[in-house]
Amino acid sequence: MRLIRIMCRERKSSFSMAHKLEQLSYEFNVLDTLPTSALAIFIVATYGEGEPTDNATNLLDFLNTPTPSFSLGCSSIQNLNYLIFGLGNSTYEHFCATSRLLDSRLQSLQAKRIGPLGEGDDDGSLEEDYLAWKDGIWVSLEKELGWIEGNAAAVPDFEVRELKLSLTKDTTTNHGKEKVYLGELSQQALLSTRGIHDAKNPFIAPILKTRELFQADDRNCIAMEFDISGSGMKYQTGDHVGIWPLNPDREVERFLRVLNLDEKRDQAIEIISLDPALAKVPTPAPTTYESVLRYYLDISQLASRQTIHSFARFAPSEKARDVLERLGTDKDAYHSEVAEKGLRLAEVLILAAGDSLTAPPGSDQISV
């Protein structure tokens, strides 16, 4: 589903076309009713001995009958234009078997595949496999369906509203009477009575102490004690803990500076999705700019080529835009200048602007 959202956002921004996102929760016999201007996208995974996932089994069972019962009584689906991207692992014998089987059956029913069959290898880089396939797809869409890629105006997925709220006092807003989220994981955590702790209302347990049990060249083992006093819970055999990662101060400070939000870090905000089908709000509300960057977004991972490319149109200068475009489209440049150095997104944006990573976060040397 995430991959479909990415493709639809790219279609919206690249082609200035309306879009409609539908999950595969429909009657398969209506495939013969789709107009030739429509495009069906199948994202299909393979597991085990070449078996489909549970949510793809019904589709394959329907299509693999000798004469599928399409709604209009058609024996073929010549009207259907489709894309397929398969997910698998090349260390298994039946790599992407499900997507290959689906593609073969659709073509035998005279459906038309647009562009090459995409295959993502989990043993390598799914993202790079997707990007290589996607780049060829846009060319095929222009040739087969007349979709001409251009520089459409940026269409936002979210609206950020700055709110007049105190960070410490209860305030009545359109959300009701509540506090600002400053890293909490549930609404219950904001209340004076925390309620019962469970997967949706986790207890944040501080670490009391850790000790090394043994250490080898390639791994180590740590015993860790947590303080669950005040939680109302008692440890039972089989209980487990979740890791709640925080972004380090340096990365948070870099991002605040790059986005010119250093002086607004404590501003209370609400993030609204402008297209809920494509963009799910990744944070609770209300929260603050700093809390979003510290607790709710992963800004510490390696900057992906696709993310870098998406920032190019918002670059502060033509030079910075050219750098981001190059890193976002040139696989070799990305690997040598970003991946091999382990650069995070804020670091890439700083370098694109021509500033040094040695400048301390918050320094005026960082361009915005």
Mean pLDDT across the chain: 84
Strand, coil or helix: what is 327? helix
Of 99, 115, 145, at which residue does a domain stop?
145
In a domain, 178, yes or no: no
Q: Which range has the top average pLDDT, 233-247, 271-285, 291-305?
A: 291-305
Residues 129 and 6 in one domain: yes
Q: What is the pLDDT of residue 340?
A: 95
- pLDDT tens per residue across span 291-312: 999 999 999 999 999 899 989 9
Q: For residue 174, tell me if it sits in a domain.
A: no
**Does residue 116 lie in a domain region?**
yes
What backbone phi and psi angles, to 5 degrees, belong to 35? Answer: -70, 155
Neighbours of 30 (CB within 10 A): 11
Residue 67 within any structural domain of the chain: yes
CATH number, residue 304: 1.20.990.10
CA–CA distances in Å: residue 337 to residues 179, 306, 312, 328, 366 = 43, 15, 16, 11, 19
* 256 lies in the same domain as 138: no
**Which residue among 116, 145, 174 closes a domain?**
145
* Domain of residue 128, CATH code: 3.40.50.360
Q: In this predicted model, which residue has the larger pLDDT, 292 or 1?
A: 292
CB 269 within 8 A of CB 289: yes
Higher-pLDDT residue of 165, 203: 203
**pLDDT tens-digit readout, 185-196:** 777 777 666 678
Domain contains 157: no
What is the extent of the structural domain holding 41? 2-145
3-state secondary structure of 334: helix
* Burial track 317-348 (b if 16+ CB lie within 10 A, e otherwise): eeebbebbbbbbeeeeebeebbbeeebbbbbb
Domain count, the chain: 2
CA separation for the pair 143, 258 (Å, rounded): 40
Shared domain check, 126 and 8: yes
Indicate whether 244 pLDDT > 60.
yes
**Residue 324: inside a domain:** yes
What is the enclosing helix (H) or strand (E) of 58? helix 54-63
Please report, in angstroms and rounded to a whole number, the separation of the first and last CA atoms in the chain: 34
Q: What is the pLDDT of residue 151?
A: 55
Answer whether residue 220 is part of any domain: no
Query: Do 139 and 6 fall within a single domain?
Result: yes
> What is the pLDDT at residue 177?
43
Any domain includes 122: yes
Residues 138, 261 within the same domain: no
Query: Which of 94, 122, 145 lies at the terminal end of a domain, its last residue?
Result: 145
Residue 28 predicted with pLDDT over 50: yes
Q: What is the pLDDT of residue 77?
A: 95
Highest mean pLDDT among 153-157, 174-178, 301-305: 301-305
Nearest to 64 by CA among 120, 110, 112, 102: 102
